[in-house]
Chains A and B, each alone.
Chain A
């Protein structure tokens, strides 16, 4: 039978996680559901709840530092109306219901590595960097490239995610989620877009889509298409952009059929959502 291990320091947590027979637990919103399905039954659980230093948000020279144990409700409260970070607040506000948002953490959202995780596309679009600490040092890696597949990331055994660093941004960002209902729904498609504009042209653009492949991912072909795009003055031009986005996105994403939606429905929704976000950001920047 598995044990509950309770570290008092990050170093202790790293030691406990280096055995290979243990799994870290933050807000635990997945733990018992996973165990019911037979996962982690023989693994020791390393409960991180005493590591209070991993919870909270700091503003530093290089950007926002969000502790990995910061819960969704705190993220929503901290970043509402805060420029591009509002997209992260929006994503956090749409996770589960209030009880889940009071417990679920941003670190858990990343490391559970669900393709439908709501904060991950925003973190990708905002170029978030993850701070991973091990007993003998730490490394910083971009979230882009960190997600490896459903339930898999590039974290090493014995490492713990302590912080997510998001560089300050001058542009605007938006997030959208499409699910079966407003609360407690897993995303059928979610997407985040970050945009900087100058003199009627997009200068910086990042598009990330979730629930449309084995991990959330950046839509590089679609980004390239839009960077070359000039001011779409008429409704017809937006319409033709919609068609071009649909073609470019088919190079970027590979949504599958599952219990929540078919792949082709997901693709249609992704096309629409990406266009919608791009258009909203474009028009908001015009004002």
Chain B
């Protein structure tokens, strides 16, 4: 075990972690923030997407020790942030959520996308979401939801 200090959703977080734990494991199993999902565990599906220092990453592939001193934002952090919560509302309004399993990761990728491109084109949106897989919606509803925000 070793200690890990980082900023989680804007607040200082100090915790004990197993040596080789992934960030996903720390978030879900130790800190009980279960909004972040585990899908494939191989970096293909994007369900575990969180932001580290503002950039989207697959938390299932991220050694938790590498988060030391970093700003980590999860879907729970988005919920608490009024500006970002607009994204969640747009997803609901446009039917971009069906089973919901991919939604936390999709929304985190959207947060990262809109930080880079405040008014993204359709191509930028599709590329921005290309690391997230959804088996329900066919993606169009998400593209529409994100375009409504721009």
Contact = CB atoms under 8 A, between A and B. Distances in A.
A47 interface: yes
B2 to A, nearest CB: 8
B57 A103 contact: yes
Given A32-B60, A32-B61, A99 B20 contact: no
A31 B66 CA distance: 13
Interface in B50-70: 55-58, 60-63, 65-66
Given A4-B2, A31-B61, 7 more contacts: A4-B19, A28-B63, A29-B58, A97-B131, A99-B49, A99-B131, A100-B131
A184 B44 contact: yes
A191 B20 CA distance: 36
B43 interface: yes
A14 B143 CA distance: 47
A97 B61 contact: no
A3 B63 CA distance: 12
Contact of B56 (A3, A33, A99): A99
A99 B109 contact: yes
B41 interface: yes
Contacts of B56: 98-99, 102
A119 to B, nearest CB: 18
Contacts of B112: 98
Contacts of A2: 19-20
Contact of A98 (B44, B66, B109): B109
Nearest first, the 6 A-B pairs at minimum CB distance are A97-B131, A183-B130, A102-B55, A49-B66, A99-B131, A99-B58
B65 A98 contact: no
A210 B2 CA distance: 41
B22 A183 contact: no
Given A31-B61, A97-B131, A4 B20 contact: yes
Query: Of residues B19, B44, B56, B66, which shows the largest number of chain A Cβ atoms within 10 Å of its Cβ?
Result: B66
Contacts of B19: 1-4
